Chain A
Amino acid sequence: MPAISARGLTRAFGERVAVDNLTFDIAHGEVFGFLGPNGAGKTTTVRMLTGLIAPTSGACTVAGYELGFDNQRIRRAVGVLTETPGLYDKLSAEQNLLFYAAIYELDSRTAREQVQHYLRMMDLWDRREHLVGTFSKGMRQKLAIARALLHNPQIVFLDEPTAGLDPEAANVVRDVIRSLRGEGRTIFLTSHNLHEVDQLCDRVAIFRERLLRLDTPANLRAGLFDTQHLIEFAGAAEPWLATVRALPFVREASVEDRVLVISLQEPASQKPALIRALVEAGAEVQNVQDRQYSLEEVYLQLIRDGATAGLKKEMS
């Protein structure tokens, strides 16, 4: 059974549909990235999956428990970093965590051990007796993550865990996510930091009210963009454009910044033939590489396509 399984999950607020027919499975131990622009319905989705709000329609199981029937068990099985840290400013860092340890019914000794473990992990042990109201944004975020992990949940929801953090703090958080992954925990990660998602996630869902695409970062790149080969020469690239265009297996060829950019019909098998043809024609090839698309380019393309499709749907 998957860690999370959603089928046709939909949530409307009056006339407005915030989440439309969301279907996916997340395997145990998977780090699942959930990307979308502001207002796309990411927080609504997290709130539904954690039993905070009910779906209008659809079904979902989280940690083997059915949403809407076993919400209390779901809340016990998951850890949640909400959009805002939501810490008690007038309590110390330690008091904040001990309070939640009691809510999760950890016995006194385990609670103290866990609190110490996570405060040390987050570099907050020396500040444990300080009021949270005196903490910086980064310290609050790290403390809120510690709170989400305190009861060793098997599924962790992290809503923008590195938002607003300085690079050092963000790195600590990313290391924590990696270590959670190493422990086999399932992580549902929403983030606007696409490089971070690319680094950390096994699969990525791109979402805007509905699921636009769901795959591994590599497959998303491959599925959306043709592989393009970039060829650099000792001299100018323009003279070789005609040679390349004459080859029957070349789909497209152009010159960008003194570099020949080529798309082939079957990149894997035809690339050697392309290089051979150029060398035989007398070209001094200095470098050949494939264009690497960033997840950001994939994301922007899909969001643009999604917006266009949504507009067409509205107009029809």
Chain B
Amino acid sequence: MRKVLAVMHKEWLELRRERWLVATTLLMPVLLTGLPFGLLSTASASTTNLGPIADLPMFQGFTPDEIVQIVLLRQFLVLFLLMPLYIPSTIAAHSIVGEKVSRTLEPLLAAPLRTGEILLAKSLIAALPATLITWLCYAIYSIGARFVAISGRVYTEVFTQAWLLAVILWVPALAMISVALGVIISARTSDPRTAQQLTKIVVVPLLLIFFAQLAGVLIIDTIVVAGTVVPLVLLAAGSLVVATRLFDRERILIRWN
């Protein structure tokens, strides 16, 4: 474990000095957290055509302005499940591919480090900031929503215990899955640039959650969250194991020139 912590410490020191990477990584969370408030300030029942949504049973008893706010605030909640997919893929791609580009990978592989130790450290250092940033953004979003919401009913309707649980429990698992899939892609590509591009694509299948929720196919309640946490954690662990098996040190050393 000491070696894993050593690699993580080294990665953290490097990450702190990568200002451009930090800036581009933080841009999306900042935008996604701020955007809803901008929209909410202009959206109201008089400017928005609610159509049949207003007649849904779940909105019975709410005013049209409250319904507009509930719909908007809820839609943006899903974006907090996208952050842990996007952020770590950028950091992980930089972390793994960057070692090869800067020619530091060979001395690292020549040291007594197991592939699992390298990948665990690099995955954690990518997943941890992603998780913390997402949690922080969610906290800002929920606190900001308190001030923007036109009634307490709007707030309690959107920021449910189920969503809080989902953000707390799903986000770390999704971040680890994203990193592991990024590593798998990195391990199977022949050059660093391709790996960097493909690690972005890896989040696409995981967007299914986003669209399923938007389409109403997936309703996030406490039962759904509790029932999916263990499979997600297992998927994250399994992805990391597969990534470790597929990470062919020799191939990467020889073919990534």
Contact = CB atoms under 8 A, between A and B. Distances in A.
Nearest to A47: B253
A89 interface: yes
Interface stretch (B2-10, B53-61, B181-189): B2-10
Most chain B CB neighbours (cut-off 10 Å) among A73, A105, A144: A105
Contacts of B221: none
Contact of A52 (B9, B110, B112): B110
B102 interface: yes
Interface string A58-72: 000000000000001
A80 B111 CA distance: 8
Nearest to A75: B112
Interface of B is mostly: helix
A91 B13 contact: yes
Contacts, number: 76
B2 A105 contact: yes
B104 interface: yes
Interface string A67-95: 00000110110001011111111110001
A103 interface: yes
A82 B110 contact: yes
Interface string B103-119: 11111111111100000
A4 to B, nearest CB: 15
B250 A104 contact: no
Contact of A105 (B3, B14, B249): B3
A99 interface: yes
Contacts of A86: 102-108
B106 A104 contact: no
Contacts of A103: 3, 6-7, 111-113
Chain B CB count within 10 A is highest, among A50, A52, A147, for A52
Interface residues of A, number: 31
Q: Is the interface of A mostly helix, strand, loop or mixed?
A: loop
A54 interface: yes
Contacts of B6: 99, 102-103
B2 A102 contact: yes
A76 B3 CA distance: 13
Contact of B13 (A95, A104, A105): A95
Contacts of B105: 86
A103 B10 CA distance: 11
B254 interface: yes
Interface of A: 13, 47, 50-54, 72-73, 75-76, 80, 82-91, 95, 99-100, 102-105, 144, 147
Nearest 6 CB-CB pairings of A with B: A102-B6, A86-B107, A76-B112, A90-B17, A75-B112, A80-B110
27 contacts: A47-B253, A52-B106, A52-B249, A52-B253, A53-B253, A54-B250, A72-B112, A72-B114, A75-B110, A75-B113, A80-B110, A82-B107, A84-B103, A89-B102, A90-B13, A90-B14, A91-B14, A99-B9, A100-B107, A102-B3, A102-B6, A103-B3, A104-B112, A105-B2, A105-B3, A144-B107, A147-B107
